[in-house]
Amino acid sequence: MNHLPEVWGRPRNDVYGAYDHSYLQGSHPMQHTQQPIVTGTSVIALKFNGGVVIAADNLASYGSLARFTDVERLKQVGTHTVVGAGGDISDMQHLYEKLLDSLIIKEEYQNDGHSLRASHIYRYLSRVLYHRRCKFDPLWNTILVAGWDDGKPFLASADLLGTTFSSPALATGFGAHLAVPLLRRVCPDENAVKSLTKEKAIETIEECMKVLFYRDARSLNKYSMAVITGEGVEQVPLSGEGKEKVHVEWKKDITLENQSWKFAEGIRGYGAQTV
């Protein structure tokens, strides 16, 4: 054995050649996330009279490879809220399993009859995203927060830049281009929410998921949907039973039915067609 302690346990130079120190050089500039790696595609959501419906498929892509087909991208946070994330899956898992879980556990410590509502979760998430972008180390996601808040349905979006906005019909990723126009047909503005039924809203979301599967090459024919419905506003605890009732109904592993690919023949513009 070599008598120099600093080389003990290291690959022997006479067998493996001299160690290439350039692998562990700390001299190059520090790099943060430059691009997402394993990604989820669109999340879509729509308000209706008495609630919100949100959906996202179960695919995590590695580039164009459909790498994982059983990923749940929607998460219930507390009693009032469902969050959906597109973009980097590992960042989404960090948000869901580290940040949001501990946020909710800390809220439960109080045991005071209050719980975080959708707008609180949304404000928290948008602050986290903006904080990370200010560190030039963004969490590479676009997020929709759907839920029940102060007697009204709640729906808003936040992204990796910290941009925040709200609308009765929202979609992230490819859905922002393909689904939003379809959603706006049934719900062009906040006033239209009152006349939109839960059944019609679900039907519209199902239709959008189908259109997205037809057109978005990073999508899957299996998806999850959550329907949040509510009644009333939160009451002051200890003053009796609260009047507010929030219910989250989950539908998982939904498969796209009644697909029709007839339209595919009419597509022009890519591939090897001679017009």
Partner 1 sequence: MTSIGTGYDLSNSVFSPDGRNFQVEYATKAVENGGTAIGIRCKDGVVLAVEKLIGSKLLVPGSNKRIAMVDRHVGLACSGLIPDARHFTSRARSEAASWRKFYHTPIPVSSLADRMGGYAQAYTLYSSVRPFGVTAIIAGMDEEGGPGLWMVEPSGVGWGYFGAATGRGRQAAKAELEKLPLPNITVKEAVKHAARIIYFAHDDNSKDKDFELEMTWVRHEKLATAESGEGIVKGWGKHEEVPKELVAEAEKLAKESMVEGGDDEEMEVEE
**111 forms part of the interface with partner 1 (CB under 8 A):** yes
The distance of closest approach from Cβ of residue 108 to partner 1 in the complex, given in angstroms and rounded to an integer, is 6
Q: Catalytic residue, from 33, 69, 172, 255: name it.
A: 33
252 binds partner 1, rule: CB under 8 A: no
What's the closest the beta carbon of residue 34 comes to partner 1, in angstroms?
Answer: 26
114 binds partner 1 (CB under 8 A): no
Query: What is the 3-class SS of the chain, one letter each residue?
Result: CCCCHHHCCCCCHHHHCCCCHHHHCCCCCCCCCCCCCEEECCEEEEEECCEEEEEEECCEEECCEEEECCCCCEEEECCCEEEEEEEEHHHHHHHHHHHHHHHHHHHHHHCCCCCCCHHHHHHHHHHHHHHHHHCCCCCCEEEEEEEEECCEEEEEEEECCCCEEECCEEECCHHHHHHHHHHHHHCCCHHHHCCCCHHHHHHHHHHHHHHHHHHCCCCCCEEEEEEEEEECCCCCCCCCCCCCEEEEEEEEEEECCCCCCHHHHHCCCCCCCCC
Least distance to partner 1, CB of residue 204, Å? 33
Active site residue 33: yes
User: Does residue 236 bind partner 1 (CB under 8 A)?
Assistant: no
- Give the residue, chosen from 13, 65, 101, 127, that forms a contact with partner 1 under the rule CB under 8 A: 101
102 binds partner 1, rule: CB under 8 A: yes
Minimal distance, residue 79 CB to partner 1, in Å: 13
In the bound state with partner 1, the residue whose beta carbon lies nearer, of 16 and 109, is 109
Stretch of residues binding partner 1 (CB under 8 A), selected from 80-88, 97-105, 242-250, 264-272:
97-105
Instruction: List the catalytic residues.
Output: 33
Q: Catalog residues that contact partner 1 under the rule CB under 8 A.
A: 97-98, 101-102, 105, 108-109, 111, 238
